[in-house]
Amino acid sequence: MSLLAIVYHLVPESPILVAFNRDSSFEQVFPNPSIQSGKPRVLASTDKNGGTCLGINQNGLFVGMTSRRKREGLGARKSRHMLVREILKADSARAGLDLAMEELHSDQYRGANYVIADPESGWVVHGGNDLNACELGQGLSIVTDADVNSSRDARGSMAQRLLTLQTLDSPVKFLAIASKVLARSPIAPDRPSMVVREKDFGTVSSTLIAVGKKPRDAIYQYANGAPDQVKYEDYSPMLRDILSRGLRESRAKANANAANA
């Protein structure tokens, strides 16, 4: 079902902090993150069709997806992963939210929750039987396969508790704590854990992201496997590269508009 934790507008120097454990079939192969072609530039781990469940674009727009229980409709089946890529083409979280709501109203997607956030605004879209969106509040939010911060979700509640045992007052501290929390191994079949490990299904990767106010402060770490067995590798230079590109293009556009005014 995957688990996504986002700390929004709590740490002044990093408005977006993300920790994400991706759960999937062990038969699927997921490559390491890479910068995708096209505009805007996107850093993501994509499937063979180019879809993803988590990415960030050069404008600082973050999009993450977790699966969600839903009664299946009779319409044509569209890819939830490709919808994430489409949302990542947006210039802002507000524009991404509008696109997501328009697409999901067609009821042609399987159940999913979408986190759409940039430094200006953030949203969680509940794409279940009743489509709705709520604005991200300041602080820590946990998204699994239910509503955001659902008290009925044992795994999400555990993540909430473990991630708030210490004050999350810097990106480095958050990433250090989150890397340990997300690597919490299963204890017993009937007990919640951060890492899921079943016969054919479980945690296949883990991602840690910090979006700073300046591109040089951005951090992107990725474990291609369950984080209790595989170490995080650093992909921060890639994230800093696309964010710097976005900043340059934004400034060039602003200067051109000013010259034409």
pTM: 0.95
pLDDT tens-digit series, residues 123-139: 999 999 899 999 999 99
**Parallel, antiparallel or unpaired: strands 3-11 and 139-143:** antiparallel
Taking alpha carbons only, the member of 106, 111, 117 closest to residue 72 is 111
Which amino acid would we find at residue 36? Q
Share of the chain above pLDDT 70, in %: 98
- Do residues 55 and 241 lie in contact, with contact meaning Cβ atoms separated by under 8 Å? no
Confidence class of residue 209 from pLDDT cuts 50, 70 and 90? very high
Helix (H, G, I), strand (E, B), or coil: what is residue 258?
Answer: helix
pLDDT tens-digit series, residues 31-65: 999 999 999 999 999 998 899 999 999 999 999 99
* Strand order through the sheet with 42-44: 34-36, 42-44, 54-57, 62-67, 112-117, 122-127, 131-135
Confidence class of residue 30 from pLDDT cuts 50, 70 and 90? confident
Distance between CA atoms of residues 94 and 120, nearest Å: 9
Tokens of 240: 């800093």
> What mean pLDDT is reported for the chain?
93
Confidence class of residue 70 from pLDDT cuts 50, 70 and 90? confident
Tokens of 139: 């602080």
Distance between CA atoms of residues 9 and 15, nearest Å: 4
CA of residue 151 relative to chain centroid, distance? 21
pLDDT tens-digit series, residues 73-87: 656 589 999 999 999
pLDDT at 41: 97
pLDDT at 137: 93
Q: What secondary structure letter does DSSP report for 189?
A: T
Domains of the chain: 3-260 (3.60.60.10)
Taking alpha carbons only, the member of 173, 212, 171 closest to residue 60 is 212
Confidence class of residue 28 from pLDDT cuts 50, 70 and 90? confident
Ramachandran region, residue 22 (left: φ > 0; alpha: ψ -120 to 50; beta: rest): beta
pLDDT at 69: 84
Q: How many CB atoms lie within 10 A of CB 92?
A: 16
pLDDT at 254: 83
User: Which H helix or E strand runs over 83?
Assistant: helix 80-87
pLDDT at 92: 97
Distance between CA atoms of residues 236 and 210, nearest Å: 9
DSSP H helical segments within 150-225, as ranges? Answer: 154-163, 171-182
Q: Tell me what the mean pLDDT of segment 12-24 comes to.
A: 96
Distances (CA, A) of 66 to 54, 171, 174: 9, 23, 21
Q: What secondary structure letter does DSSP report for 32?
A: P
pLDDT at 190: 76
pLDDT at 154: 93
* Bridge partners of residue 143, in order along the sequence: 4
